[in-house]
Amino acid sequence: MPDPRDLAADASRSPSSTHPPRSALPQAAGLKIIVFSVVQRKALTPNDFTGLDQIRGRLATFETRYNAIARPFDWKFTRADLSDLLRRIDAHDKTKTHTLAA
């Protein structure tokens, strides 16, 4: 999996439309983490494969099954929620005194 920071650097250098806008990268990286964790938990556990063909088969079966039952993900966390959370974190950080390690 490519490092999201490398993708951001590529997107900032390239005017082509092949890369997503820089602002989309953190969400895309987060989505990849969610997708891969679902695949790992549902398709690749237990890790008892005897070969690559068995892994391919299990992933193909999982893909067919998941596509048949998949529903759109209903995001509940809005931009306003994020702004409020960041404001509260910032206010909390300003009230705490942090000691620096020597």
Give the residue with greater pLDDT, 29 vs 5.
29
pLDDT of residue 11: 46
Q: What is the pLDDT of residue 51?
A: 92
The pLDDT assigned to 31 comes to: 78
Question: pLDDT tens-digit profile of 15-26?
Answer: 454 555 555 556
pLDDT the model gives residue 87: 92
Instruction: Give the dihedral of Cα atoms 4, 76, 73, 79; nearest 10 deg.
Output: -40
pTM over the 0.95 mark: no
Cβ-Cβ contacts under 8 Å for 42 (sequence gap 6 or more): 62, 66
Q: What is the pLDDT of residues 29-81, one digit of tens each?
A: 777 888 889 899 989 988 889 999 999 999 999 999 999 998 887 778 888 99
More confident residue, 100 or 94: 94
